[in-house]
A and B are shown apart, each in its own frame.
Chain A
Amino acid sequence: MAEGPPVEHPTVDFCSGPAILCQANIDSLVSSAFAIGVTLLICFLMAAKLKPGTPGKFQMIFELIYGYVKGQVVEAVDAKATFIVPLALTIFIYILIGNWLDFLPLTGYFHPANSDLNQTAAMAVVVILLVTGYAIRVQGVRGYLHHFTRPLDMNLAVRVAYTPLNIIEELAKPLTLALRLFGNIFGGLVMLFVLATLVPQIPLPFVPVLLSAVLVVAWKLFDVLFIGLIQAFIFMLLTIIYFGMARQGAHEEHA
């Protein structure tokens, strides 16, 4: 627990070449592979044990989450866009398990899978590519490019002036998506490190080690359990909302 947050990652080389192509963070690979394995295991076990009529406890929870996600997709995007439901659910469960890895007494290469910026950036880029592809499919290439000249009811000069802002807004989506998750999980680890190493050094009349232990437990419960859940939920919900924003303008043009 007293080990520092993973600022520098141990790396491994897959081939000889430039570091950006051939080098990977071995600890993030191990942690995310573990999280992916647990996610697949849970979901396939769930799918194998599905039964109609009287569902078990886990099936109840899964159906609750599924119903909520499906309701959000129908409300925010479209009734026919059901391909988003498995994507959003996978993102939610994977991020949740990746965050809650911190509860397991694992050492070595294991750390919460999302405390590496590469990890969260990869997910954000995948989401934004899918959103862009969906926008082009719904509105066409012309409609998608036309979309960058919002507000559409202004005259031409205003729309040209707004174009850079719209491009920045589009670029900010994956950036904030990745940095939000990374910052929360990594910041939680920094806080844990501070509580575990710096608090015992405060000169106090009573035993500061005890205070440190209580604070570490309290912070870990709050941060990992609560913030980890909220961040997984936010990532999922923002994915759905970005898909919904990709449809903006499609209604007005066809109406």
Chain B
Amino acid sequence: MNHAVAVAAAMVAAGIALGGGAIGAAIGDGLVGSAWIQGVSRQPELEGRLRTNMFLIVGLVEAMYFINLALGFVFIYAIGTPVS
């Protein structure tokens, strides 16, 4: 019984963590994209250089979400396997 409660709580916690992380990553991606479009529309000749930087920052921003995803899964798995 206790184990089932722990597993359910772990699932809910992972869901909340994933949801919050997804919100943050989406907002961050949107900010990066909007800043890139503004920069390119101001100085179109910088498009190539700015695109490299944009993908770099998108990678940095999305890393937070992927850390959430991986660690959430690890925690679910660690709690889900019953301790004998």
Question: Does A pair with B?
Answer: yes
Contacts of B55 in A (CB 8 A): 230
B residues in contact (CB < 8 Å) with A: 55-56, 58-60, 62-63, 65-71, 73-74, 77-78
- Give Cα A230 to B63, complex, Å: 11
When the two chains form their complex, are residues B56 and A237 in contact, meaning their CB atoms are under 8 A apart?
yes
When the two chains form their complex, are residues B63 and A184 in contact, meaning their CB atoms are under 8 A apart?
yes
When the two chains form their complex, are residues A187 and B70 in contact, meaning their CB atoms are under 8 A apart?
yes
A8-B77, A187-B67 given. 15 additional CB < 8 A pairs?
A180-B67, A182-B67, A183-B66, A183-B68, A183-B71, A184-B70, A186-B66, A187-B65, A187-B66, A187-B69, A188-B66, A190-B70, A234-B56, A234-B63, A237-B56
Within 8 A of B (CB), among A206-233: 227, 230-231, 233
Instruction: State the total of A-B contacts with C-beta under 8 angstroms.
Output: 55
Minimum C-beta distance from B53 to chain A (A) = 10
Contacts of A2 in B (CB 8 A): none
Minimum C-beta distance from B76 to chain A (A) = 9
Is residue A245 contacting chain B, with contact meaning CB distance below 8 A? no
- Give Cα A166 to B56, complex, Å: 25
When the two chains form their complex, are residues B73 and A184 in contact, meaning their CB atoms are under 8 A apart?
no
Is residue A133 contacting chain B, with contact meaning CB distance below 8 A? no
Whose C-beta in chain A lies nearest to the C-beta of B68? A183
CB-defined interface of A174-214 with B at 8 Å, one 1/0 digit per residue? 00000110111011101100000000000000000000000
Contacts of A188 in B (CB 8 A): 66
7 pairs of residues in contact across A and B, judged by CB atoms under 8 Å: A186-B74, A187-B65, A187-B67, A190-B69, A231-B59, A234-B60, A234-B63
Total chain A interface residues with beta-carbon distance under 8 A: 19
- Give Cα A227 to B69, complex, Å: 15
In the complex with contacts A5-B73, A7-B73, A184-B56 CB distance below 8 A: no
Minimum C-beta distance from A177 to chain B (A) = 10
Contacts of B67 in A (CB 8 A): 179-180, 182-183, 187
- Give Cα A186 to B66, complex, Å: 8
- Give Cα A188 to B59, complex, Å: 13
Minimum C-beta distance from B67 to chain A (A) = 4
- Give Cα A7 to B68, complex, Å: 15
Minimum C-beta distance from B71 to chain A (A) = 7
Contacts of A180 in B (CB 8 A): 60, 63, 66-67
Contacts of B56 in A (CB 8 A): 230, 233-234, 237
Contacts of A230 in B (CB 8 A): 55-56, 58-59
CB-defined interface of A31-65 with B at 8 Å, one 1/0 digit per residue? 00000000000000000000000000000000000
Out of B58, B62, B70, which one reaches A186, CB within 8 Å? B70
Out of B58, B60, B69, B77, which one reaches A183, CB within 8 Å? B69
- Give Cα A5 to B66, complex, Å: 14
- Give Cα A182 to B64, complex, Å: 11
Contacts of A227 in B (CB 8 A): 59, 62
Minimum C-beta distance from B55 to chain A (A) = 6
